[in-house]
Structure 1
């Protein structure tokens, strides 16, 4: 991944954009207000969970009664699933069952690891924040997601990259805009054969033929000027 990338996310409640460091505090303010103003007669536990993979992040509001399997399914749909590989949660190297209720796993500052594909593994980390008494039908609400990172073409450095070379990336930055893609094809036989992978807003980018998720499609692609 390119260095010095700016990671920002939009708040679901006010549509304002905040840095990766600022968004947690901002969302907390909204959730506290929602809890304060709501009729407690029809509420249930919801957990604010942050999912982090380097510069990429998600903030989720998850029903406490939901199962860990529900989070696994969501991560697969938005970030990870390419070929139906196995996956699992762990805490301090101990396995966390998919059948556990979310509210029984996450407390403030508890950090859970999620691994997808035990061959070419993609690892993300889930961090528990506060719990809230709220109303809601959905098991999982996407509170914020990092906007597509500003990954620029490695050749011209003038246009956003739309694809990458999974072979050459091991040796040097290999991200290409549309016009520079042909230049790389001339010097890398593997690129046109199998190594051309799309730029997607996911930590699974470039792995095992992954080409994007099936939810939140508007923020799933590459950066656009």
Structure 2
């Protein structure tokens, strides 16, 4: 039963509040925010779980917000797990996520459908449905300057009792036999027999415990007011509450943090200020991984690093454990160099210039080892790389196909910007060929990613396992590969293949292969594991 007082937090001023006082407090905070006045009033929308009203959000919707954008916010903050369908019901009309070209589609301005006092509903996943109630609780002249929608308040995580001791639970554990989630505090979790791959932190969402749902911190944060951090979305990562079976690696990480933890934190903050959240994340991953490898190699603190050890660590270890597929490769050495300069400025080391010169000298060998380029690499892989550099999403088949056609013309020595050539290419793109080849192109992209990742293995065992999984999915009558994020499909196929070959298992040493897959494809491991669970239901027994 929902509590009479449902506590929460104002995301504008970070003050505690209750659901009952959220409107009054939010209106006052918006007036004091310094945000501009909109051309038309903005709406304030309360969203809450239909069956557990302790979960609630307050959203500021600018006058030009669209219904599909509200769907995206709800998915990112509360419900998205496996690209399920969703639907709003407003005034007796259903607006469904798969009805892009119908009169009931979500591509409609929100202000055309609702006004202060309006109530409506939302359902996500028509199998294991999460149902929400929405109400426009007010309007304000204040408008968000940088986007159509913004979270301004949300509930604090409700206390869930541990199944064993009745205390406050910290994690959720999926029961693979009867599909019933169980909740445990840290102490009780240790006493259970469990697979760490199926343990997650408890999500602050009405979809908690359903379909393996886990929070996507980065996605949720994109809807928070400017300047908010990941700590305001989720208090701790799963790894912080799980026991670590790899004592050696754990000891190395602990030693690094004890030695230079505050320095790493300060450096990451500086990188975030200079290069944004992505730059900060990349810097943190790079520095912690490199320092951990250095400790495992020599057991020395940073003031004892020398030229041979840092070059060996860079080429033989960091290069073999890619953190992200694209821009990390060109940024890894510059990040390390900036970190060493900062460490010398703070008095922690005295040989930064020597180590920096060594890293720069080894950078070409590092990049060669990391990419392992092969003569005659498939044209497809080259075009895919160029498309990503151009900002083309591999899930956008039409855009990918158009880019591929132009790139092929350029590789053949034809200028795609020539007026006559442009007319011919335009005719090709308008001829319907994209529709005819879209499914094949998408499938090729999905498996091509698997092939690219599997180049790091000594033989083709994992690749062949991926091929069998991919073929089963491609032949499935429901055509699952045509829906959802193609890169996430690739990550899930590889993850499942590695599980089948016993390369991913509880207690596997660091850097964990599962984490490496997540870094390579840019997804949280929890998102990949959720996709694997859904995918296995489609595979033959």
Q: Indicate whether the TM-score tops 0.5.
A: yes
Aligned residues: 212
Contact in 1 for aligned 2:59/2:152 (Cα 8 Å): yes
CA apart distance, 1:49: 0.7
Q: Indicate yes or no: 2:17 matched with 1:9.
A: no
Give the match for residue 120 of structure 1: 128
**TM-score normalised to the size of structure 1?**
0.79
Task: Please state if 1:141 is matched with 2:175.
Answer: no
In the other structure, the counterpart of 2:170 is 161
CA distance in 1, matches of 2:200, 2:184: 10
Closer, same or farther in 2 for the Cα pair 1:220/1:75, shift >3 Å?
same
Match of 2:117 among 96, 109, 113: 109
Q: What is the Cα-based RMSD across aligned positions, in Å? A: 3.2
Write the deviation string for residues 15-62 of structure 1: whole angstroms up to 9, x where unpaired.
Answer: 22112222222213334x459x9876x633311111111210111101
C-alpha change, 1:3 and 1:28, in structure 2 (3 Å) is closer
1:24 pairs with 2:23: yes
Tell me if structure 1 keeps the 8 A contact 2:174–2:212.
no
**Residue pairs, 1:17-166, within 5 angstroms:** 17-31=16-30, 33=31, 43-53=39-49, 54-96=53-95, 97-135=105-143, 136-165=145-174
- Gaps (5+ residues) in structure 1? 186-190
Q: Which residue of 2 aligns with 1:200?
A: 203
Please tell me whether the aligned partners of residues 13 and 29 of structure 2 are also in contact (alpha carbons under 8 angstroms): no
Q: Give yes or no for contact 2:121–2:131 (8 Å, CA) kept in 1.
A: yes
Higher strand share: 1
Q: Does 1:215 align with 2:220?
A: yes
Q: Return 5+ residue gaps in structure 2 as ranges.
A: 96-104, 222-229, 237-541
Measured in 2, the distance between the counterparts of 1:201 and 1:150 equals: 10
> Could you list the per-position Cα deviations for residues 66-108 of structure 1 after superposition, in whole angstroms to 9, with x for gaps in the alignment?
1100000111111111111111100254213412211122212
* Aligned 8 A contact 1:197 1:206 in 2: no
The farther-off stretch of 106-115 and 11-20 is 11-20
Report the CA distance between 1:221 and its aligned residue: 4.0
Identify if the C-alpha distance between structure 1 residues 120 and 30 changes in structure 2 by more than 3 Å, giving closer, same or farther: same
Please say if residues 46 and 137 of structure 2, whose CA atoms lie closer than 8 Å, have aligned partners that are also in contact.
yes
Tell me the secondary structure at the aligned position of residue 12 of structure 2: coil
How far the C-alpha of 1:180 sits from its partner, in A, is: 1.1
* Bigger CA radius of gyration: 2
Structure 1 residues 39 and 67, CA, compared in 2 at 3 Å: closer, same or farther?
Answer: closer
Q: Distance in 2 between matches of 1:197 and 1:39?
A: 40
**Higher RCO, Cα 8 Å, sep 6+:** 1
Q: 1:147 to 1:141 in 2, by over 3 A?
A: same
1:176 maps to 2:172: no
Separation in 2 of the partners of 1:38 and 1:28? 12
Whole-angstrom CA distance in 2 between matches of 1:121 and 1:194? 24
